Structure 1
Amino acid sequence: MTEDLDVPRLVDDNGLVLLFANRTRSRILATLFYAGEALTVAEIAAGAGISQSAAYEALDPLERFDVFEVGERGDETTYRLLEDDELVEAVRTVARLATERIHPE
């Protein structure tokens, strides 16, 4: 590695690392990929197999990436992935490829 690069800082600031900073964020994204519709936090938590408080904690930093359409159903906030977003499309492709590698036909 080049000596003048602050690699740990570059890694910490990398968007991919921030997007997938923990397993909870990945589970939320996968849940929303499969849902195909707007989900409440309770529905996201149930689909991802996490608590609602963990879902709230993970959704806040994910909102920085502008990949959600945030709406309302009654008095509850809903989240839906923006299907025409290039980041959503790229992550969906990576998720599909990674899944195919783990579970080849």
Structure 2
Amino acid sequence: MAGYGIETVSVGVKDIILPGDMKIILAQVVEAEKAAQANVIRRREETSATRSLLNTARVMENNPVALRLKEMETLERIAERINKISVVGGLDQILHGLINIQPKI
């Protein structure tokens, strides 16, 4: 190009048009990479959740008040799904009765 009086400073590619098969293969590669990244994120979240549960268990193991609060929180979640509750024997009876529920055979 110097023969025509033009100096080339840089050359770049702006737009590439791939054949149909190459587009499909490239799309599959990108999809596989995204699936792998999602899998890594999912495993990190599962590990984090497991660690949190373990820490909660350790706290409750050494602190009966924390265990009691967790029991009451669970009872509250159960009660949200029930229209009417009749309490006989007090709160202790409910908590211990829930723990000892046996399925009917």
Scaled by the length of structure 1, what TM-score is found?
Answer: 0.28
Higher relative contact order (CA 8 A, sep 6+): 1
Higher-Rg structure is 2
Q: Which structure has greater strand proportion?
A: 1
Q: Which structure has greater helix proportion?
A: 2
Scaled by the length of structure 2, what TM-score is found?
Answer: 0.28
